Structure 1
């Protein structure tokens, strides 16, 4: 499926472009994402997705196949697989930046393929989730681009020389809760799906019981 989104950030293009390529900086704005390694082109990490009571973890890589600084255009290809299951996710993300009223407009086109449990909700629900996630990401990114970096504390060393100490470690991200993000419409659809599955299960059990009873009578 193809998804199209656009958002703006309150900084010029020349500031927004390197910020979007700074994976460690923007990763906390992606719900459920953890970056394990980044060499400037390839990102290795994981994403946790929660669907009701079930949590699915995808591990994989994302590769920048294009980084055109002059055109402010980037292409990212990401793929992952469930750590405990057969589900997969693959996305080709194309982002283009342009100046707008002193800020930056970011146009994002995503070609997404998902298999496994999250895919059960279908295109419409995943599009709703995508809209809300992009909105959250844009708000978080705008905040990070406009805030000042935290000051580092100086710790004295032997001989009177001070050294900077790293800030507190980032907490492990919470899973991306699809039902919570998409809200009531998705919850209703999930409930309807669960009810249908429950009804099907009951019907199958009744059929089995009837077959057993008929089998005993024939004997």
Structure 2
């Protein structure tokens, strides 16, 4: 399935570009993700997804197949497998950055394939869950960029070593999907109520219709 998301961050394009490539720093903004190693091209790590009472853990790698700083376009290919199960996940993520009103507009196109328990939600719900997660990521990223003090190249070289990333809470798909599902259920219930109301009115009209005299 293809998912398309857009968000903006309140920094210049070049700053946003370098921030998004700073995987270890932005990883805490990704629910359930842990980065174990990053060499500038390949990311090794894990993602935990909670489906009801069951927690599914994926381990895998993500490789930057393209990092074009001139046009601010990156392509990331990620793949993972359940640590205890046969489910798999694979995604090709294409991100493009462009200047907008003094900030940066980020467009993300994801070609996603999922097998196993998370796939039970279907494309529609996964797309809406993706919208919510991207919104959370964008807000987190914007906050981190706002808090980040500008450092020159020399200061960055002298910056202290980053602390180890803490174990994140698993991404709860049921909780994330609850609002989209509730919205759909509410819409269906409203439509059903209208049908019932119309049917009742038709019945009453039929019962009260006067009999014509011959």
Give the shorter-chain TM-score range.
Answer: 0.7 to 0.9
Q: Per-residue displacement from partner, 1:60-110 (whole Å, max 9, x unpaired)?
A: 000000000000000000000000000000000000000000000000000
Tell me the TM-score normalised to structure 1 length: 0.76
Q: Match of 1:70?
A: 70
Residue among 158, 168, 180 paired with 1:173:
168
SS of the residue 1:31 aligns to = coil
Give the Cα–Cα distance (whole angstroms) in 2 for the partners of residues 173 and 22 of structure 1: 18
1:106 and 2:106 are equivalent in the alignment? yes
Q: Shift of the alpha carbon at 1:188? A: 9.7
Contact map agreement 2:34 2:165 (CA 8 A) in 1 = no
Contact map agreement 1:48 1:55 (CA 8 A) in 2 = yes
Tell me the TM-score normalised to structure 2 length: 0.78
Q: How does 1:88-99 map to 2 (within 5 A)?
A: 88-99=88-99
Contact map agreement 1:35 1:46 (CA 8 A) in 2 = yes
Q: Shift of the alpha carbon at 1:181? A: 1.6
User: Residues 121, 103 of structure 1: CA spacing in aligned structure 2 closer, same or farther, 3 A cutoff?
Assistant: same
User: Residues 10, 49 of structure 1: CA spacing in aligned structure 2 closer, same or farther, 3 A cutoff?
Assistant: same
Q: Match of 2:122?
A: 122
Q: Per-residue displacement from partner, 1:107-164 (whole Å, max 9, x unpaired)?
A: 0000000000000111001101100000000000000111036xxxxxxxxxxxxxx9
Structure 1, unpaired ranges of 5+: 150-163, 190-219
Q: Match of 2:83?
A: 83
Q: Per-residue displacement from partner, 1:165-197 (whole Å, max 9, x unpaired)?
A: 7676442100000111222444799xxxxxxxx
Q: Which runs of 4+ in 1 moved over 6 A?
A: none
